[in-house]
Structure 1
Amino acid sequence: MTTETSSGTQEFSTKGAYVTGGTEFKRDTNYITTRITADGRDGFPVEPGRYRLVVARACPWANRAIIVRRLLGLEDVLSMGICGPTHDKRSWTFDLDPGGVDPVLGIPRLQDAYFRRDPEYPRGITVPAMVDIPTGAVVTNDYPQITLDLSTEWKAFHREGAPDLYPEHLRAEIDEVALGIFKDVNNGVYRCGFAGSQEAYDKAYTRLFDRLDQLTARLATQRYLVGDTITEADVRLFTTLVRFDPVYHGHFKCNRQKLSEMPVLWAYARDLFQTPGFGDSIDFVHIKRHYYVVHTDINPTQIVPDGPDLTNWLTPHHREELSGRPFGDGTPPPPPIPSEIVPADHWVPLG
């Protein structure tokens, strides 16, 4: 949909339909499954500087890749393009960059990279996406596999002291825990927010809070979800929990309780938030602006709420009393590179 401004130029509307009346929300999970691997078996070998990870800080699925790339120290070998917090029906855009053009790919819209792979690409233009810089074409947008491959296929380029986020002896358990989190929590909040009927909403709401109760029981006696260190499972849960009070509780009607009213999960989330690589990847301004502006069928006024107060993310969590070693035998990542620092007023600075 386009509108014409008083100057005669056309602007693309951010308005899109996310709710289908009378039905439950079903996520399209048919992603581009080409992989970037150490042996290049799909035609795309791991090579420093060859690929660009395109993300949006607003998006929980992209936030996973931001965190994993940072924890593993891949900044020097895998560049990152950051889209703005809103998009129209066509595509995420690079409106944060000078001239609205990604400085590496030379495109204004992520859509352009999808169409360079397939001029008739029929599905949604999603982040995260791995783009082959020489051709400008998307290689993959298979976000669950992207982070696993960063941990396993990019191992030769991990920083010294990088944690093992997907240890081989725990992979079956990590996969099982992560699947339940995806179905009922990561996607569950969307199934609540985009429900097209009372029945669909009630079902999604029950599944969401039943799963959160199960996770509460699990985390009451252990610091992390699987083993005694941070793993891929923790990354996947964190990106939903950090958005819960600012967005999902109100905007998506996930309102049995706020996260801050669930003591175990709230302490767990703050523990991760205060761990280098997690909280410093979060841009609450982008998160709130994305959901409240883009989802006009559930927030037609596009008003972005001022609350809640987010400084409580920095309060003591006491999860260290459960022992556990955040990075195992590794070390915390260094501070973000200057070009990727989240502005202080978008985060939760003290004072």
Structure 2
Amino acid sequence: MRSLSQLLDRVKMDHGNSKIVLSQTRIGIFLSRGKDNANGCRNLKGVYGLKRSGGYSGRATVPMLWDVEKKEVGCNESYDIIEFFNSGLNGLARNPGLDLSPKELKGKIGEWNGVIYPNINNGVYRCGFAQSQDAYDSAVNGLFTTLEVVEDHLTTSRYLCGDTLTLADVCLFTTLIRFDAVYNVLFKCTKKKLIEYPNLHGYLRDIYQMPKVAETCNFSAIMDGYYKVLFPLNPGSICPVMPSGCEHEVLNTPHNRESLSLVNKTMHVSVA
């Protein structure tokens, strides 16, 4: 997807503390709990509790975009942060011409996000943290009904918005890549595994095999970040064996979804 290779010498990554800080810029990205070198806080709640960030004392959730010069929260809305990285760092990007949110597709992207976020992205969390059977049943039914809708759509469409990869696909991918390893087991999303959906799993492999995407999918960090951190859901912090469908060799098998783009383009030419 977006190549930000020219930022690599300015990015400090610490998987142990689950944070990323972009030095030599005004940007800090806090992904989960960990020692904060910028503020000396040991968790995100501590950062929010600083007077210079408003002295907020409520629930602290990730992600957070932190202004390291002004010492204040820049943004904590996931999609706004994604939009920022799509176009806000063009001056530093190696491939600034790549736009995953083109003007002509913003309407479709918004429509898909309106379906995907509540039912899939947030849906898995509603399943995992449900406090009643009714709440769980509602969440799990919404999740798998929506997965079926997307599965059907991907029968004839390479990506959510057609032949073009967009931010809607990025948002969906981040949940799909964790589905069988984490959400299916830990969050009780057990009706079906993602690998049982041929179109969705092919779509997942299609994006995974794009240049530089696989190297961002650290399954060891993903497993540790859920099974060893979410104490209420896994008191023993026991990390299960990785499902076979999540292995690199499986995710790297041919997906043949490029044929959908070719078919759609051929049909368009024929009609014209």
Relative to the length of structure 1, the TM-score reads 0.63
- Partner residue in 2 for 1:228: 163
User: Quick one: which of 134, 152, 173 aligns to 2:69?
Assistant: 134
- Partner residue in 2 for 1:198: 133
The answer on whether the counterparts of 2:15 and 2:221 sit within 8 Å (CA) in structure 1 is: no
- Partner residue in 1 for 2:252: 314
User: Quick one: which of 42, 58, 74 aligns to 1:109?
Assistant: 42
Aligned-partner residue type, residue 152 of structure 1: S
Root-mean-square deviation (CA, aligned residues, Å) is: 2.6
Question: Quick one: structure 1 residues 198 and 274, their matched pair in 2 at CA, closer, same or farther if it must change by over 3 Å?
Answer: same
Whole-angstrom distance in 1 between the partners of 2:101 and 2:86: 7
The answer on whether the counterparts of 2:53 and 2:71 sit within 8 Å (CA) in structure 1 is: no
Structure 2 residue ranges without an equivalent (≥5)? 20-31, 263-272
Aligned-partner residue type, residue 84 of structure 1: G
Whole-angstrom distance in 1 between the partners of 2:52 and 2:155: 46
How far 1:287 sits from its partner (Å)? Answer: 1.1
1:149 aligns with 2:87: no
The answer on whether the counterparts of 1:85 and 1:290 sit within 8 Å (CA) in structure 2 is: no
SS in 2 for 1:242: helix
SS in 2 for 1:238: helix
1:187 aligns with 2:187: no
Which whole-Å deviations, capped at 9, do the CAs of 1:169-222 have from their partners, x for residues lacking one? 110110110111001000000111111111111111110011001101111111
Whole-angstrom distance in 2 between the partners of 1:85 and 1:263: 36
- Partner residue in 1 for 2:34: 93
Relative to the length of structure 2, the TM-score reads 0.80
1:71 aligns with 2:3: yes
Whole-angstrom distance in 2 between the partners of 1:106 and 1:190: 29
Q: Report which of the two has the higher share of helix.
A: 2
How far 1:322 sits from its partner (Å)? Answer: 1.4
- Partner residue in 1 for 2:235: 300
User: Quick one: which of 97, 103, 114 aligns to 1:168?
Assistant: 103
SS in 2 for 1:226: coil
- Partner residue in 2 for 1:342: none
Q: Say which structure, 1 or 2, has more relative contact order (CA 8 Å, 6+ apart).
A: 1
Whole-angstrom distance in 1 between the partners of 2:185 and 2:79: 27
SS in 2 for 1:220: coil
1:194-343 correspondence to structure 2 within 5 Å: 194-309=129-244, 310-311=246-247, 312-323=250-261
Structure 1 residue ranges without an equivalent (≥5)? 1-67, 95-100, 325-351
Whole-angstrom distance in 2 between the partners of 1:110 and 1:131: 14
The answer on whether the counterparts of 2:7 and 2:92 sit within 8 Å (CA) in structure 1 is: no
Question: Quick one: structure 1 residues 136 and 76, their matched pair in 2 at CA, closer, same or farther if it must change by over 3 Å?
Answer: farther
